[in-house]
Structure 1
């Protein structure tokens, strides 16, 4: 059975992602793991609490999670399990992905802000740091199926077959078409290369409907956002580039930046 993990802190943004995940899981007849990383309230963390008081708050949070799971079971007729922890969110999600052999983690994404561009948030940090697929659901977006997929890639770095295989599987599962979209600064020169990566698409994408589009520009994020508006995909897929600590100070992940600025679900697939 296909398994998905969805994270919630009971906020409106997170609960929107929960509803999106549940709707999609019901269609593929999968299983949903409802996850919450419980944090002590600020006033409680600033005081000395007994073990019993802390456990009481943890139990109360777990009960709320169980109640939400029961609502999802009834509303979407799916299997829902719950996981709650006081531990680090990233470490726990990584553990749960392995434990349940889940396909991806689904998380809500707040609207873009200057603070998010500079510092990111829980979702963008997980996209950047952990090596598993993350589906970021923008605030207010509801599940309506997947008929059009935009794969925004960097052909200079290469179009990896493992990524194409995963995209192809997603497209087949939903009977969706795929646009492979790339933005390059020197397009004419690139197209002259005899081993242009687009040549492998015919073989690797055989069996699904797809097309390739390349744009010459040095404003990558801007061009991808323009293409999202023009193509109107139901899902955007990107592969995050990973940098070392000092490089990350000046190289903000394009995937992370896109995640915080889209009105379309973004699936990050790591290499």
Structure 2
């Protein structure tokens, strides 16, 4: 059974991500855990220093969150409901990132699916600050679903890489499963100014080819300096339906995520974005 975690702040974007998850796994036995972290709601409005008042506010917010979660499940259940799907709700007094991370580790979650923006996010950006924090720190695959994106099977999955770091079979298995599920082509895009690969890069590329041998693979290069611009250009020219990147120490994606978060904020992809984690779990 698939175990899928969907964080929610009860925004339209979060609801959309939940509906996308249902469609993505409609033919698979799945348990969807819907999580709401309400710590910021307690401290955001709390002014007094009385511990009794604080505990009362925590109790009230917990009850409110649980009621909203129950209502949400009632809203998204089909008529008739999908017999392959189960839903569980969790209201936690924690920050969003810590709440997600703890639950992922506790339940060995297969994937987190979330919206790209929450209720309070800047509408000029593609990714809200919480989504970027989850990308950074969660040791689990994270699929971010853009606002308003309608579910469709991607004909092309774009996998930007520099071939510098060894891949793990676990992450490539997930990519291969998605490609077979969708019957998609996987396009590997290499950002470089050079024509030849180093021995290390060739070994990593061979491992990639071997791990995805039963999927259609194509390999391309680009000399565009700005990674976000290069990705966006390729997405538009090749009808890419999903973007996949790997987060690991000193990786291509980490460079965008940590050293140049502006690049990620400028990556205005209108397609689902899967971040796989090459981190110890």
TM range (shorter): 0.7 to 0.9
Aligned mates of 1:266, 1:195 — CA distance in 2? 24
Give 2:46's aligned residue. Answer: 45
Tell me the residue number matched to 1:61. 65
Partner of 1:4: 4
1:182 aligns with 2:190: yes
Partner in structure 2 of residue 149 of structure 1? 157
Q: How many residues align?
A: 264
Task: Work out whether 1:226 is the aligned partner of 2:227.
Answer: no
When residues 52 and 127 of structure 1 are mapped into structure 2, their CA distance, relative to the original with a 3 A threshold, is same
Aligned partners of 1:72 and 1:80 also within 8 Å: no
Q: In structure 1, the residue corresponding to 2:27 is in which secondary structure? A: helix
Distance 1:50 1:193 in 2: 60
8 Å contact kept, 1:127–1:134: yes
**Structure 1 residue 168 corresponds to structure 2 residue 176:** yes
249 and 91 in structure 1: CA distance in 2 versus 1, 3 angstrom threshold: closer
Q: 1:72 maps to which residue?
A: 76
8 A contact 2:229–2:267 mirrored in 1: no
TM-score under structure 2 length normalisation: 0.80
Q: TM-score, normalised by structure 1?
A: 0.83
Which residue is 1:15 aligned to? 15
Q: What runs of 5+ residues in structure 2 fail to find an aligned partner?
A: none
CA distance in 1, matches of 2:232, 2:214: 28
1:10, distance to aligned residue in structure 2 (A) = 0.8
Question: Structure 1, residues 105-141: CA drift from partner, whole Å, max 9, x if none?
Answer: 1111139969969x96111111112211111111111
Query: Structure 1: 5+ residue runs without aligned partners?
Result: none
Q: Which moved more, 1:12-21 or 1:42-51?
A: 42-51
Match of 2:138 in 1: 130
User: Aligned-pair distance for 1:144?
Assistant: 1.7
Map 1:192-271 to 2 at 5 A: 196=202, 197-242=204-249, 251-252=259-260, 257=264, 261-271=268-278
